[in-house]
Amino acid sequence: MHLLAAQPGGFVEEEGIIDLGQDPAKVVILAAADTSLAMLATAAEQLGSELPSIRLANWSHLLKPAAFDLYEHKVLEQAELVMVSLLGGASYWNYGFERLQAWQQAKPNRQLHFGAGRRRTRPTVNPSQLL
């Protein structure tokens, strides 16, 4: 399997795993909508040093377990807060959903929050994790 740099346009099953090439940060926001990520990136730029370090990523690049594992090792291990927009619920990203919950439980100071858009499609999580 090949290791590829992330490119716009999303995930293609036949390609190798994706390395997003991000450095660790205190806050990580994962979403499947590039428009949401672009809006958040613009807001983060405007706020500048008022915010802690932030990384934004499209979780569709992390669909393969090996890609998620690499991202967890390189970025998430040092994060304190992870927020995930998981429209459609956990079934769209079972591996990532389960690994993120394990990530949170591994250290007591970690926070994990899911936003799913509509109440009926919310992932099955502890209610305190829902945005």
Let me know if residue 2 belongs to a domain.
no
Let me know if residue 5 belongs to a domain.
no
Cα–Cα distance measured from residue 40 to residue 16, given in angstroms and rounded to the nearest whole number: 28
CATH code, domain with 79: 3.40.50
Let me know if residue 65 belongs to a domain.
yes
Query: What's this model's pTM, rounded to 2 decimal places?
Result: 0.79
Confidence band (pLDDT; 50, 70, 90) for 49? confident
Let me know if residue 12 belongs to a domain.
no
Let me know if residue 95 belongs to a domain.
yes
Cα–Cα distance measured from residue 10 to residue 61, given in angstroms and rounded to the nearest whole number: 6
Residue 20: C-alpha distances to residues 16, 56, 75, 107, 122 (Å): 13, 10, 10, 24, 26
- What is the extent of the structural domain holding 91? 24-129
Let me know if residue 72 belongs to a domain.
yes
Let me know if residue 39 belongs to a domain.
yes
Show the tokens assigned to 67: 């890609």
Let me know if residue 41 belongs to a domain.
yes
- Alpha carbon 35 to chain centroid distance? 15
Q: For the chain, what is the domain count? A: 1
What percent of the chain is predicted at pLDDT more than 90?
A: 61
The residue with greater pLDDT, 128 or 31, is 31
